[in-house]
Amino acid sequence: MSPEPTPARIAHALREQIITGELAMGSKLNEREIAERLQVSRIPVREALPILESEGFITTQPRRGAVVHVLTVTDAAEVFDLRRQLEPMASAFAARRAAAGADVEPMLAALRSAQGAAHPVDATSADAAPPSTRNSDLHEEIIALADHALLRRVTKLMSGRVRWLFRLTPQRDTTAMWVEHREIVDAIVAGQVDVAELLTAAHVERGRLESMPLLTGLLPAEAPAPRGRRRRPAPAAPVGSADPTDSEPTDAGPTEATEATA
């Protein structure tokens, strides 16, 4: 990488490597190794790690440093909980803006890209983004069209994990999913606020019902306990040394003290 990338760009590179599995869940992130691999100094790498931790991609463990977060079934369920609340809202806002004349072309382009992923002409193309990425791009374009600053900030923290989960269940990237996306987009373009909101809610809930059994077979129920440093055994006492507990007390007891003053 040249010129020196910003921490945000390094965080992006590491985020993609985590999502694709190049950096495995539970693996330790060594600043020196990352800097050498990306051909940068260690300072921007060190500054990039808190970005990933705030997004839930890594955790900091005592005596181990930064470790790639291990996704759990609970994590997956929580992502669907948030999607169920936020994405229908985004579709409703997007439909209102479309009805008011907002530009819907970026969303339509993302839909066409998702359709190409669902009906690939050249599945061997190394440059083609996987269907999970294109589907995520469509969801993000809907959020962009909604033009709600706070909603965008909240969903930005969630979008990375959504893509991570999508990559774990590629068997769900089917024509049927694209049809659901097309119906949602059609409702948004037509300015049908309630229809877009209800279709999106049904889409997310169907995704939960189909994905959670698959993810339950792939992910642990809870994160593994952090590894601790093994305690060294206490050194054995030298042979023949006196046991401190065997020594007689030197202070006079209450009875002796009373006799002494009598």
Give the C-alpha separation, 88 to 206, whole Å: 13
- Same domain assignment for residues 84 and 206: yes
Query: Is the pLDDT assigned to residue 246 strictly greater than 60?
Result: no
Residue type, 53: E
- Same domain assignment for residues 122 and 38: no
Counted domains in the chain: 2
The pLDDT of residue 261: 46
Backbone angles phi, psi at 261, to 5 degrees: -95, -5
Give the C-alpha separation, 107 to 137, whole Å: 9
The pLDDT of residue 219: 96
- Same domain assignment for residues 107 and 211: yes
- What percentage of residues in the chain have a pLDDT greater than 70? 78
SS3 state of residue 28:
strand
**Chain centroid to CA 53: how far?**
9
Decide which of 248 and 89 is more confident. 89
Contact yes or no for 18/27 (Cβ under 8 A): no
- Same domain assignment for residues 193 and 158: yes
- Tell me the range of 34-48, 128-142, 187-201 where mean pLDDT is highest: 187-201
The pLDDT of residue 224: 76
Decide which of 250 and 167 is more confident. 167
Contact yes or no for 135/112 (Cβ under 8 A): no
The pLDDT of residue 4: 55
pTM attached to this predicted model:
0.77
Work out the number of other CB atoms within 10 angstroms of the CB of residue 188. 32
Residue type, 68: V
- Same domain assignment for residues 13 and 89: no
Query: Is the pLDDT assigned to residue 215 strictly greater than 70?
Result: yes
User: Mind listing the pLDDT tens digit for each residue in 42-85?
Assistant: 999 999 999 999 999 999 888 889 999 999 999 999 999 999 99
C-alpha separations of 136 from 61, 131, 142 in Å: 30, 8, 10
Kindly give the residue spans of alpha helices, DSSP state H, lying in the chain.
7-20, 31-38, 42-54, 73-99, 105-118, 131-146, 149-168, 175-189, 193-218, 254-261
Decide which of 11 and 241 is more confident. 11
Contact yes or no for 157/87 (Cβ under 8 A): no
Lowest mean pLDDT among 29-38, 162-171, 225-234: 225-234
Query: Is the pLDDT assigned to residue 35 strictly greater than 50?
Result: yes
Query: Is the pLDDT assigned to residue 225 strictly greater than 80?
Result: no
Residue 261: inside a domain: no
Q: What is the mean pLDDT of the chain?
A: 85
Average pLDDT over residues 105-116: 92
- Same domain assignment for residues 112 and 43: no
Contact yes or no for 84/155 (Cβ under 8 A): no
C-alpha separations of 204 from 76, 123, 240 in Å: 13, 27, 73
Whole domain around residue 13: which residue ranges? 7-68
Return the CATH number at 42: 1.10.10.10
How many CA atoms within 13 Å lie on the side-chain side of 258? 3
Helix pair angle (42-54, 7-20), 10° resolution? 60
User: Mind listing the pLDDT tens digit for each residue in 115-157?
Assistant: 875 555 444 444 456 777 788 899 999 999 999 999 999 998 8
> Which two tokens mark 251?
């202070």
> Which two tokens mark 28?
């330790």
- Same domain assignment for residues 161 and 84: yes
- Same domain assignment for residues 183 and 203: yes
- What percentage of residues in the chain have a pLDDT greater than 90? 65
The pLDDT of residue 238: 60
Confidence of residue 172 (pLDDT cuts 50, 70, 90): confident
Give the C-alpha separation, 185 to 94, whole Å: 10
67 bridge partner residues: 28, 59
Compute the radius of gyration of the chain from its Cα atoms: 29
Give the C-alpha separation, 55 to 144, whole Å: 19
The pLDDT of residue 227: 64
The pLDDT of residue 242: 54
Query: Is the pLDDT assigned to residue 102 strictly greater than 60?
Result: yes
